[in-house]
């Protein structure tokens, strides 16, 4: 099986799953069309398609079709993912193996499978009740403890998934200012320096940066406007309904923008996109995700610093929090709908925690001495 892209009648890039004969898998096509009509982003639809590709490969591996699947077979899908699709018989898996998929990644795959069966269960032509077995109803809190509003929520019902891996807590790495400065020094073009500094300073998502048009930057006011234009020719697009916003930036970044425009946006450039290719067969066309990935690999090799473009977003918001920004303002700057999403981006590093301990250490000290117990014992 393989995933193929195509251009829809309205000019958008979409994805289909085809079998070994090159025939589209009809049930997956219907599911993806349904999710597309519900407003799912292109990248989300692409992820759905790849997740279901793995799932249908697993079904072929065990010799079953999707209507035949039960709880045991779905649990076997987890082990199949953990073992990198290599085992010949699901029942003969070793008890302890090195997982090639994290618990978080496997849960994402399972979420797509859940959504797929939920979609099927709502169509009369599919007599599937597996989706009912995949969830159970609980009363009270979603959490494993009684929260502050338990007395209000204790009669409320929630559906929780029966099959789900426990995700170990991971400490997300952020970059120090000195590391970002090293990355900037390693950039060979003004465009690359402008992109890295923009992502660090503004906290924009990479899709938002690649979707910027020249008119979105307001130099006099030192502002950048993130505008929803749908899916663009370089496949960039903003992520959520809260993504359109205005972000304040420094005069230094605006000066770097002017320097870049003078160098790169010559009379030969025929695009409104801020970020363009500087060489090659597609010179002056909009910059794409693959170009940014290549830039990241080059900078990693030159500096020895591991980073991703999304790590710059984490680092930016964490630094602003450290400098005293309220979380609500960070939420708006990040383009989040819920403040809980913003908290995921706020990280305290070891040095910051060390300094906080030094500041409060004396207040934690216990009194020691030979004072007599008032009871006389």
- The rounded Cα 145 to chain-centroid distance in angstroms is 28
Instruction: Please tell me which residue in 35, 46, 313, 321 is annotated as part of the active site.
Output: 313
287 with 210: CB under 8 angstroms? yes
> Nearest to residue 116, comparing CAs of 212, 192, 51, 41?
51
Q: Which of 310, 322, 337, 354 is catalytic?
A: 310
331 is catalytic: no
Q: Which of 184, 282, 177, 165 is nearest to 234 (CA)?
A: 282
Choose, from 222, 239, 284, 298, the residue flagged as catalytic.
Answer: 239
CA atoms within 13 A on the CB side of 161: 16
CB crowding 31-64: b at 16 or more within 10 Å, else e: bbeebbeeeebbeebbbbbebbbbbbebbebeee
For residue 247, the surrounding DSSP H or E stretch is strand 245-248
The encoded tokens of residue 369 equal 């001495």
Out of 42, 191, 205, 321, pick the active-site residue.
Answer: 205
For the question of residue 284 being annotated catalytic, the response is no
Task: Establish whether 345 is a catalytic residue.
Answer: yes
The Cα–Cα gap between 206 and 219 comes to 21
Catalytic residue among 42, 117, 345, 347: 345
H/E segment holding residue 56: helix 42-62
Identify the H or E element spanning 161. Answer: strand 157-161
Q: Is 129 marked active-site?
A: no
Helices 26-37, 42-62: axis angle to 10 degrees equals 160
Residue position matching structure tokens 């799953």: 17
**CA 40/CA 42 separation, integer angstroms:** 7
Active site residues: 205, 239, 310, 313, 336, 345
């Amino acid at each position: 099986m393989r995933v193929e892209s195509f251009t829809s009648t309205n000019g958008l890039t979409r994805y289909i799953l085809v079998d070994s004969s090159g025939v589209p898998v009809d049930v997956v096509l219907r599911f993806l069309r349904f999710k597309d009509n519900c407003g799912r982003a292109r990248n989300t639809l692409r992820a759905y398609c790849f997740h279901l590709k793995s799932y249908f490969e697993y079904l072929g591996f065990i010799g079953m079709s999707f209507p035949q699947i039960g709880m045991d077979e779905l649990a076997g899908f987890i082990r199949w993912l953990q073992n990198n699709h290599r085992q010949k018989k699901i029942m003969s898996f070793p008890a302890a193996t090195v997982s090639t998929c994290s618990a978080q990644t496997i849960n994402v795959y399972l979420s797509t499978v859940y959504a797929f069966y939920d979609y099927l269960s709502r169509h009369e032509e599919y007599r599937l009740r597996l989706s009912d077995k995949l969830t159970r109803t609980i009363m009270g809190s979603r959490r494993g403890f009684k929260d502050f509003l338990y007395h209000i929520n204790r009669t409320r019902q929630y559906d929780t998934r029966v099959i789900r891996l426990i995700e170990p807590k991971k400490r997300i790495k952020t970059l120090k200012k000195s590391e970002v400065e090293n990355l900037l020094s390693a950039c060979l073009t003004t465009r690359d320096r402008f992109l890295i500094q923009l992502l660090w300073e503004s906290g924009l998502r990479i899709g938002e940066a690649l979707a910027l048009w020249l008119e979105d930057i307001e130099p006099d006011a030192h502002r950048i406007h993130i505008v929803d234009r749908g899916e663009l020719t370089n496949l960039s697009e903003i992520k959520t309904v809260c993504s359109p916003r205005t972000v304040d930036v420094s005069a230094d970044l605006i000066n770097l923008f002017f320097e870049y425009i003078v160098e790169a946006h010559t009379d030969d450039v025929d695009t409104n996109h801020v970020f363009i290719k500087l060489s090659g067969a597609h010179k002056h066309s909009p910059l794409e995700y693959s170009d940014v990935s290549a830039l990241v690999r080059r900078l990693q090799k030159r500096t020895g610093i591991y980073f991703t473009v999304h790590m710059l977003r984490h680092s930016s918001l964490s630094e602003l929090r450290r400098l005293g920004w309220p979380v609500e303002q960070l939420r708006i700057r990040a383009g989040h709908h819920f403040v809980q999403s913003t908290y995921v981006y706020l990280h305290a590093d070891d040095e910051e925690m060390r300094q906080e301990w030094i500041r409060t250490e004396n207040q934690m000290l216990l009194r020691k001495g030979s004072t007599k117990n008032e009871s006389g014992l």
